[in-house]
Chains A and B, each alone.
Chain A
Amino acid sequence: MRAMVIKEFRQLLRDKRTLGLLVGLPVILLVVFGYAANFNVSKIPTVVVGPEAAESAAQLHAPFDVTEVDPVGNRATVESRLQDGKAAVGIVTGQNPVTALMDGTQLFAVQAAKGAFARMAQADVATGGKIPVIAPEVLYNPDLKTSWIMIPGLTGLILLFIGTLITSLGIVRERQAGTIEQLAVMPFRPWDVIFGKILPYLLLASLDLIAIVLLGMGLFGVPFVGSVVTFGIGALLFLLVTLGMGVLISTVSQNQGQAIQLAIMFVVPQILLSGLIFPVGAMAAGVRWIAYVLPLTYFVDISRGVMLKAEPIAGLWVPLVVLLGMAGAVLGLAVLRFRRDLAPSARHRGEDDFEPVAAAA
Chain B
Amino acid sequence: MQYLVGARSATIRFGDFTAVDRVDLEVGSGEVVGLLGANGAGKTTLIRMLLGLLIPTRGSVSLFGGRPSRATRRRLGYVPQSLGLYDDLTVGENWAFTTAAFGIAESTLPESVAGYRHELVGDLSLGLKRRLAFAVAFSHDPGLLVLDEPTSGVGPLSSSHLWEDIRASAERGTGVLVTTHNMEEAEQCDRLVVMAEGRVVAAGTLGQVIGDRHVVQVDCADWRGVFAALDGDGLIVQVHGSRLRVPGTPEHVAGLLHRHDLGGDVSAVPANLEEAFVDIVTKASPR
Contact = CB atoms under 8 A, between A and B. Distances in A.
B62 A356 contact: yes
Contacts of A353: 60
Nearest to B122: A177
A359 B1 contact: yes
Contacts of B101: 186-188
Chain B residues touching A, range? 35 or more
A192 to B, nearest CB: 9
B102 A344 contact: no
Interface in A308-361: 343-345, 347-349, 353-359, 361
Interface string B48-91: 10011111000011100111111101101010111111110000
A344 to B, nearest CB: 5
Contact of A358 (B2, B70, B83, B103): B2
A127 interface: no
A187 B73 contact: yes
A254 interface: no
A349 B53 contact: no
Contacts of B78: 182, 185
Interface string B203-245: 0000000000000000000000000000000000000000000
A177 B87 contact: yes
Contacts of A179: 82, 84-86
A177 B86 contact: yes
B53 A184 contact: yes
Contacts of B86: 177, 179
Interface in A294-312: none
A303 B86 CA distance: 38
A308 to B, nearest CB: 41
Contacts of A187: 70-71, 73-74, 101-103
B51 A185 contact: yes
B68 A345 contact: yes
A286 interface: no
A134 to B, nearest CB: 63
Interface string B147-169: 00000000000000000000000
A185 B61 contact: no
A344 B84 contact: no
Interface centre among A186, A348, A358, A361 (most CB of B within 10 A): A186
B173 to A, nearest CB: 16
Interface string B24-40: 00101000000000000
Nearest to B75: A187
B92 interface: no
B177 interface: no
Interface string B167-210: 00000000000000000000000000000000000000000000
B247 interface: no
Sorting the interface of chain A by its residue count into under 10, 10 to 19, 20 to 34 or 35 or more gives 20 to 34
Interface stretch (B3-11, B106-114, B250-258, B271-279): B3-11
Interface string A173-198: 00001110110111111000000000
Contacts of A189: 70
B33 to A, nearest CB: 13
Contact of B1 (A177, A343, A349, A358): A358
B73 A186 contact: yes
A185 B3 contact: no
Nearest to A349: B55
Given A177-B82, A178-B81, A179-B86, A358 B3 contact: yes
Nearest to B26: A357
Nearest to A356: B62
Contacts of A188: 70, 101
Choose among A345, A347, A359 the residue with the greatest number of B CB atoms under 10 Å from its CB. Answer: A345
B146 to A, nearest CB: 8
A177 B83 CA distance: 9
Contacts of B87: 177
Contact of B53 (A185, A348, A354): A185
A353 B61 CA distance: 10
Contacts of A358: 1-3, 6, 65
B103 to A, nearest CB: 8
Contact of B60 (A177, A186, A343, A355): A355
Nearest to A187: B74
Given A358-B2, A358-B3, A359-B28, A348 B55 contact: yes
B34 to A, nearest CB: 18
Given A356-B62, A357-B7, A357-B62, A181 B67 contact: no
Contacts of A361: 1
Contacts of A345: 52, 55, 67-69
A185 B73 contact: yes
B126 to A, nearest CB: 14
Interface of B: 1-3, 5-8, 26, 28, 48, 51-55, 60-62, 65-71, 73-74, 76, 78, 80-87, 98, 101-103
Given A344-B53, A345-B52, 16 more contacts: A177-B86, A177-B87, A178-B81, A179-B82, A182-B84, A184-B51, A185-B73, A187-B73, A354-B67, A356-B6, A357-B7, A357-B8, A358-B1, A358-B2, A358-B3, A359-B26
26 contacts: A177-B86, A178-B80, A179-B82, A179-B86, A181-B48, A185-B73, A186-B73, A187-B71, A189-B70, A344-B52, A344-B53, A344-B55, A345-B52, A345-B68, A353-B60, A354-B60, A354-B67, A356-B2, A356-B6, A356-B65, A356-B66, A357-B3, A358-B1, A358-B2, A359-B2, A361-B1
Interface of A: 177-179, 181-182, 184-189, 343-345, 347-349, 353-359, 361
